[in-house]
Structure 1
Amino acid sequence: MSNGTQRQSISMAPLETVLSKPRLDRYRTSANDTPRVVMGRYLWNLALCKALYPELQFLEVAFCNRLHNALKVHFNTAAWFELSWLSPRESQKVADAKVELRKRQSPLEPDRIVAELSFGFWTSLLSGLYDQVIWNQRGVVRQSLPHMPNHLRTRRRISDRMHQHRLLRNRVSHYEPIWHWSNLSQQYADLRQTLQWLEPELVHLLSMPQSFEEVHLQGPGAYEVDVR
């Protein structure tokens, strides 16, 4: 990596053992790629994921809380998930969250249960299955993404956007390659826009020393190391 310091040569063989050759092969574009190039892409991918983490973290927490608050108002209870409108699949996820809280001997308070639910749970509430229950109510839509333009604010558009973000979030969380995505810059722009729709002040907090754009522009060459 070009950081102004001298590094000793690194051996590829043990890296293929601990990181696994099949995993590293996903960073090859041809059989002629050298270990230096492969590990450059791997480390670049790592840097890209690291640079995306703040936006993804804010997205998940903010969307969860915005929708939770909207549903509290809509159903007039903080325990809206205890009512009978959830599908068996989502109800099971609530039950699983309670099990985890009991294991930790934590109180089964609504806010604790909500915090235990996965991002997949929240995006599943955007399904057309819940159109008549919650999404035909303008208040829920407006409160979930209060700064989204009115002409764009529909359940289908929110669903498409959040599922796009969930795919990116899952790839980052499970250490999968994203470096080769041709639309990665656009996905990042969409992510920032969604944060604006949730709360513009979140974007103001994201003045990181090294932004995603800087890491993306550097390319894998900036992350190459002497690998033999």
Structure 2
Amino acid sequence: MVFEYTPAIIANLESSHSPERLGPYYALAGNDKVLGLQLYAWNSALSQALYTPLQGLEVTLRNGLGDQLKAAFGPTWFDLNPGPALQYPLPDMLLKVRTELGRHGSVADHGRVVAELNWGFWTGLLAKRYEQLWRSHFRKVFRSEGPLTRAQIFQPLDDLRRLRNRIAHHEPILNRNIAADYASIIQLISYISPDTARWIDEHSQVAAVITAKP
């Protein structure tokens, strides 16, 4: 059944979503409000389709890096005493997670801490300032046929972090090259776990949603 965009329905959608939120989509549609609303819905569908692959990347990444931290610095690596030499803001992020866990009556163990730390923490571990950690520990997480540098992992991860944040804040992503974004997600996962990458790709709806562009 095709949704009917009557003037009254368009007015109601503008009231519920606000003209400011819909404005960028109207602009992309040349002020064709029907097309603009269809683009808004398509943007939502793209965001939904990307959620599972992005989630898969985040979980795979944090478990891989977390395992290396545990192997290198022990099961309480997050105490940083002893532990990896981290710089602001990463120690503050660890302290916040440990504090929140304690506030809720949970023990700050390896599994809980890894699960609570956000994408920014794990991407931050791969920044240039941690080149030595990359060479001694984190390089082991990623496998490829040829040489693989820290920057080859960090740069796409940081870009995908921004994409994930836009999705989380319900912002437009349809002006991005979503096919390239998705390929980057799958490539990064495949460096850590090729089977996981194939599994996520097998269940992905991204290609179908891209094809359904209004």
After TM superposition, the score normalised by the length of structure 1 is 0.84
Supply the AA of the counterpart residue of 2:169.
H
Change in 2 beyond 3 A, CA 1:189/1:30:
closer
The range that moved more, 99-108 or 47-56, is 99-108
Cα distance in structure 2, aligned partners of 1:22 and 1:195:
36
Aligned length: 208
Q: Is the 8 A contact 2:134 2:150 kept in 1?
A: yes
Higher helix proportion (structure 1 or 2): 2
User: What corresponds to 2:65 in structure 1?
Assistant: 67
Deviation string 1:86-140 (CA, Å, 9 cap, x unpaired) is 11311111111112212321111121112111100111111222223x1231x43
User: What corresponds to 2:209 in structure 1?
Assistant: 215
Change in 2 beyond 3 A, CA 1:9/1:30:
closer
Change in 2 beyond 3 A, CA 1:37/1:88:
same
- The secondary structure found in structure 1 opposite 2:144 is coil
Gaps of 5+ in 1: 222-228
In the TM superposition, structure 1's runs of 4+ consecutive aligned residues that sit over 6 Å from their partners are: none
Deviation string 1:141-193 (CA, Å, 9 cap, x unpaired) is 12x22x33341x21121111211221111112221111122x22112111111
Cα distance in structure 2, aligned partners of 1:41 and 1:35:
10
Q: Which structure 2 residues correspond to residues 38-117 of structure 1 after superposition, within 5 A? A: 38-75=36-73, 77-83=74-80, 85-117=85-117
Change in 2 beyond 3 A, CA 1:27/1:8:
closer
User: What corresponds to 2:131 in structure 1?
Assistant: 131
- Match status 1:155 vs 2:155: no
User: What corresponds to 2:171 in structure 1?
Assistant: 176
Q: Is the 8 A contact 1:74 1:140 kept in 2?
A: no
Deviation string 1:56-90 (CA, Å, 9 cap, x unpaired) is 00000110000011122222x02222225111311
Identity of aligned pairs, percent?
31
1:32, CA displacement in angstroms?
4.4
Cα distance in structure 1, aligned partners of 2:62 and 2:4:
46
Supply the AA of the counterpart residue of 1:19.
H
Supply the AA of the counterpart residue of 2:119.
F
Cα distance in structure 2, aligned partners of 1:41 and 1:16:
14
Gaps of 5+ in 2: none
Cα distance in structure 2, aligned partners of 1:189 and 1:6:
32
- Match status 1:15 vs 2:13: yes
1:7, CA displacement in angstroms?
4.2
User: What corresponds to 1:186 in structure 2?
Assistant: 180
User: Over aligned residues, Cα RMSD in angstroms?
Assistant: 1.9
1:30, CA displacement in angstroms?
5.7
